[in-house]
Structure 1
């Protein structure tokens, strides 16, 4: 069977850098119809397109990624995916941002394979450490801002005077919460939230 070249792109839902990855793939010679892309949120790492690509990947095929962290979100996951692709699937990997991580020319060269594996371990470790450092800096920044009195999230909407009369009618059953919310020009959930906050303070 003919050996195929596939590309894989992973971006977060907040990140719009798939164009950069797509251009790099196409410049390398990966056909657009053979490029798989997952858009994920920070909490969601279920990669349906990547799993689909793995099922299609066979011995002798080549998987192209822009950077090593596209394979996983931490050191152990990157290592595991590298092993699955190169050892179990017996396919090749090309990491565009790191030419040393190109297994196509090193399959029969023990020294080349050793260098690629060593570079992989260093880069995947560095990628994980950098992610952890970013999280720590974000947490420290938020803590410092809170210490200075900076408030995060939306400011609470003040309860308007008209609310109290409508709340009385709502409690009496002469008006629904939705109708009361419409009269106030707020969301149904906001009216209920105001009602609950008053109940707690009674």
Structure 2
């Protein structure tokens, strides 16, 4: 029986350090900790795939939180079921849950469904906030170049490309986009 660990953060700006430390404190050796630095929304998580390929009967996979392991309920159920069929247990440190035994597997699946519902509620609230912000006049996207209005004026006056670029310091792409939008 081996203790294996899995840690994941969603972006490269986040750190795996805390999760790895928790896994080490739970008894997982450093060389048996598998990691990913990417969103859980994809199946292309190399660390998770290596972990699942490495895990054998009677091994225990330890993960700090449920949402680090699966991207949604279906994915979580698939991972739990595949491990369960191979005789591999999964333990979550945050809440002390384990797939060991029939009840453990059922509890994990229920909690995975609850976690997915919470993620969907967060997305709904985020979208509602975005719609409200747009309605109140908040502009999204990249800010305009400070010289955009001058560039538009020069283009309307028929100034050539090099003159507009040298006076405003806009890029060639911006010049042509502004010129195209003017003609639309």
Q: Scaled by the length of structure 2, what TM-score is found?
A: 0.84
Give yes or no for contact 2:40–2:71 (8 Å, CA) kept in 1. Answer: no
Gaps of 5+ in 1: 104-112
Give yes or no for contact 1:67–1:97 (8 Å, CA) kept in 2. Answer: yes
Closer/same/farther in 2, CA of residues 51 and 166 from structure 1, 3 Å limit: farther
Residue number among 4, 7, 10 corresponding to 1:9 in the alignment: 7
Work out whether 1:191 is the aligned partner of 2:157: no
Closer/same/farther in 2, CA of residues 26 and 181 from structure 1, 3 Å limit: farther
Measured against aligned partners, the alpha-carbon deviations of 1:65-124 in whole angstroms (never above 9, x if no partner) come to 11112221111111110011121x321211111223252xxxxxxxxx232122112211
Closer/same/farther in 2, CA of residues 128 and 15 from structure 1, 3 Å limit: farther
Following superposition, the deviation at residue 154 of structure 1 comes to 2.5
CA distance in 2, matches of 1:8, 1:186: 47
Structure 1 stretch displaced more, 155-164 or 59-68: 155-164
How many residues get paired? 181
CA distance in 2, matches of 1:42, 1:188: 38
* Corresponding residue for residue 48 of structure 2: 50
Q: CA RMSD in A?
A: 2.6
**SS at 1:84's partner residue?**
helix
* Corresponding residue for residue 119 of structure 2: 131
CA distance in 2, matches of 1:96, 1:147: 43
Structure 1 stretch displaced more, 66-75 or 15-24: 15-24
Question: What are the residue-to-residue correspondences of 1:85-164 with 2, within 5 Å?
Answer: 85-87=83-85, 89-101=86-98, 103=100, 113-157=101-145, 158-161=148-151, 163-164=154-155
Structure 1 stretch displaced more, 64-73 or 37-46: 37-46
Q: Scaled by the length of structure 1, what TM-score is found?
A: 0.77
Work out whether 1:35 is the aligned partner of 2:33: yes
CA distance in 1, matches of 2:181, 2:64: 51
Closer/same/farther in 2, CA of residues 101 and 182 from structure 1, 3 Å limit: farther
